[in-house]
Structures are given as C-alpha cells and as structure tokens.
Amino acid sequence: MSAETSKFLSYILRHAPESIGLELDSEGWTDIDTLIAKANAAGQAIDQEMLLLTVRDSEKKRLTLSEDGARIRAAQGHSIKVDLGHAPSQPPAQLFHGTATRFLEAILAEGLQPGSRQQVHLSADRETATQVGARHGKPVVLSVNASRMAEGGHTFFQADNGVWLTNHVPAVYLTIIEAPAAGGTCQ
C-alpha cells in the first residue's frame, strides 16, 4: 500500500471527486470500477488490488467498502455535502480533540467548529488526539465532556473507523488536559 494512494483516495472521496470527473451519491459512495477508471484516466495508476490493500492496510481506516464490496466511500472528514447515514450514538463519558496551540484561543472562545468539514472530529483516546494535534504544530489535547453534552441535547455519531462526530462542541464542555511545556514537549 502506498501512502500516496491512500492520500489520493481520501482527497478524492472527501473533498474533490469532480477533480477526476467522479460523482458520489448522496451518501458519498461510488462504484469501485468507476473510481479506478477515472483515477487512471487522470494519471493516478490504481488497480483493484491496490485499492483493496489500501483500504485494508490503512491505519486510520479513512475508507469504507460497501457490504457487497462493489462501492467505496470515505468514512468521515468530508468537506463536500454527504449524508453518511450514521445513527445517533451514545458517546463515552469523555472524548478528546487534538489541535495546535495556535488555535487554542479561538477554540476556548467559540468552542470546536467543523471548519471546512461537515462535523467536528473527536477521538476516544488521548493518544490519537495527541497525534492529530501534532500534525498541525505544537499539540494541545482537549477533553470533551461528552456525557454532559449528550445530556444537554447534543447529538453524536460514530463513523465506521471509530471517529466520533458532532456538529459543534461549545467551549463550556472543553478542558485543556495536555499542552506543550515551556520546552515545547507535551506533559
């Protein structure tokens, strides 16, 4: 599996299917054979075996195959409008969000916003949140009081890959639990 192939497929299926002439249905699905043909026509050499290995071996599990194995979609993270059809789920009492220190002031003022994505992404474990935050700079991990949010009427969904999704996390439900120390490392 190539990291480049995984990134390409995630980009196409989350953000820009039209960039290779691909259309997704309302739930974000597309036919695998059509995706492969359009990707190859756009100069991205992919075959079915490579695509299936990419889905299977991806650590982040960003891509989902249909039950019949004929279609594929991104598990979450879309900037284009799709309805993933996830049923509301009761979240664990605590969830986590990783971000960079430069975003902290705005988050503490406005809460977590989806930005260019459809929903806010939360993880069930602190490690994953730390890794996500580190991709954007010096990481900060925020704890989300998900049980209080749910009691307050906020809805949560869980994507096929385990990522927790919600529309917005008001700042009142956030606590900083990990931030860079003076030397720049996390405590």
58 and 17 both lie in a single domain: yes
pLDDT band at 1 (very low <50, low <70, confident <90, very high): very low
The predicted-structure confidence for 99-152, as pLDDT tens digits, reads as follows: 999 999 999 999 999 988 889 999 999 999 999 889 888 889 999 999 999 999
What lies within 8 Å, CB to CB, of 2 at 6+ separation is: 50, 54
pLDDT value, residue 91: 97
Over residues 40-53, the mean pLDDT reads 93
For position 103, which CATH number holds?
Answer: 3.20.170.30
152 and 106 both lie in a single domain: yes
For residues 8 and 58, is the Cβ–Cβ distance under 8 A? no
Please report whether residue 82 resides in a domain: no
Please report whether residue 83 resides in a domain: no
63 and 102 both lie in a single domain: no
25 and 62 both lie in a single domain: yes
- pTM (two decimals): 0.76
51 and 124 both lie in a single domain: no
112 and 170 both lie in a single domain: yes
Start-end of H helices in the chain: 3-14, 32-41, 48-57, 104-110, 126-134, 146-151
Token pair of 86 as six digits: 């996830």
Residue 151's alpha-carbon distances to 48, 90, 93, 129, 173, in angstroms, are 45, 10, 11, 23, 12
Average pLDDT over the chain, rounded to whole? 90
Query: Beta strand pairing status for 94-100 and 164-166?
Result: unpaired
Please report whether residue 112 resides in a domain: yes
Please report whether residue 158 resides in a domain: yes
Any idea which of 17-31, 72-86, 161-175 has the lowest mean pLDDT? 72-86
**Hey, what amino acid is at 147?**
S
d(CA 84, CA 72): 12
For position 68, which CATH number holds?
Answer: 1.10.10.970
Domain span at residue 70 reads 3-74
